[in-house]
Structures are given as C-alpha cells and as structure tokens.
Amino acid sequence: MSRYRRAQGNTFFFTVVLADRSSRLLVDEVDRLRRIYRNVRQRRPFETVAICILPDHLHVIWTLPDGDLDFSSRWNLIKGGFSRGLDAAPPSMSKLKKREKGIWQRRYWEHAICDDADLERHVDYIHFNPVKHGLVPRVRDWPSSSFHRYVEKGTLPLDWGGDVQEIPGQFGE
C-alpha cells in the first residue's frame, strides 16, 4: 500500500496539452518549461503534489494555498511564459484575436481531487503515463516525473508499476 499524502479541498489534477499532438516540444524544451514553472510558482505559490512532463502534454496535481483557487491565472502565466520566444505555426484569426501563439490547446482538463483514494488514483495515473504512451517500458525509466521524488522519499518502490496494465478513470487525454 502506498503512503500518499492526504487529499485537501484545494487540490486539483490537470492535463495540459500542446496544439500539435505530434510535437516533442515539452521534452525538447523541458529546461525552459521547468524555469517558467518555477518562476510562476515563486510568484503565485502552489505545491506540486505530482507531475509528469511528456512530449506533447503534461499531467500535474497542485495544492493551492488556503482561500486561493485561482489556478487559471497560474496556467496562463506558465503557458504564456513558455510560448514567448518560441516559433509557432501561423495563427488563425481566432488565435490572433485572443493573442494566442498556437503552441498550446486553449483549454485544459481540470479535476478537483475529492478524497484520498481519488488522489492516489491520479498520482498513480501521472506516474504510469509514460508507460501507457509507450515511451518507456518501466515507470522509473522516464526522467521528467515526480515518481523519482516519491522513490527518494520512500513512498513508492523503484519497481512500482511493473505489472500495471492501466489506471482506471477519466484523466483528460
């Protein structure tokens, strides 16, 4: 049995996706993404409970400070900061009107974590996602994942997920 932290009312799961699903931009520019993410977290605090950065999307669970449920401005800052300075495909008229570059999908999947079992299921899904997408044979082989932090803390064993076929649920992919 895993020893995850307790779920809180201000904890959310997100799936954020690039406009081009065939892109590798997030792993090719992972240092840029990490820098922007860190800067936004310093300006607008939140705790990253779990995260996995994949080539064309990322999954993350955040816990926001008490009384602060404004995750949308944080995502706006992360997506905008990441996109600034990157080349993009020629934007459509609707993207021009909204000052979008066309790197990210406009929306993202968001789910309020409702209890400890829901939190555990979503953390497991995040960590297993690179295997699900056929990027690596084992969870531990994907470098851009909080799985390694969970192993270091002793929350999960290094061989976790070795015989898992799928994590059931709706995760926004």
Average pLDDT, the chain: 87
Looking at per-residue pLDDT, the higher value among 26 and 7 belongs to: 26
Q: Which two tokens stand for residue 1?
A: 């049995």
Cα distances (Å, whole numbers) of residue 15 to 2, 29, 85, 107, 152: 23, 18, 23, 9, 25
Per-residue pLDDT of 97-155, as tens digits, reads: 555 458 999 899 999 999 999 999 999 999 999 999 999 999 999 999 999 999 999 99
Looking at per-residue pLDDT, the higher value among 91 and 9 belongs to: 9
22-44: burial string, b at 16+ Cβ within 10 Å, e else: eeebbbeeeebbeebbeebbeeb
Q: Where are the alpha helices (DSSP H) in 84-132?
A: 93-97, 116-132
The CATH label, of 3.50.50.60, 3.40.50.2000, 3.30.70.1290, 1.50.10.10, for the domain at 11-152 is 3.30.70.1290
Looking at per-residue pLDDT, the higher value among 61 and 102 belongs to: 61
Q: What is the pTM of this model?
A: 0.85
What's the pLDDT at 37? 98
Q: How is the chain split into domains, by residue range?
A: 11-152
What's the pLDDT at 102? 83
Handedness of CA 45, 46, 48, 52 (dihedral sign): negative
Q: Which pLDDT band holds residue 4 (cuts at 50, 70, 90)? A: low
What's the pLDDT at 96? 45
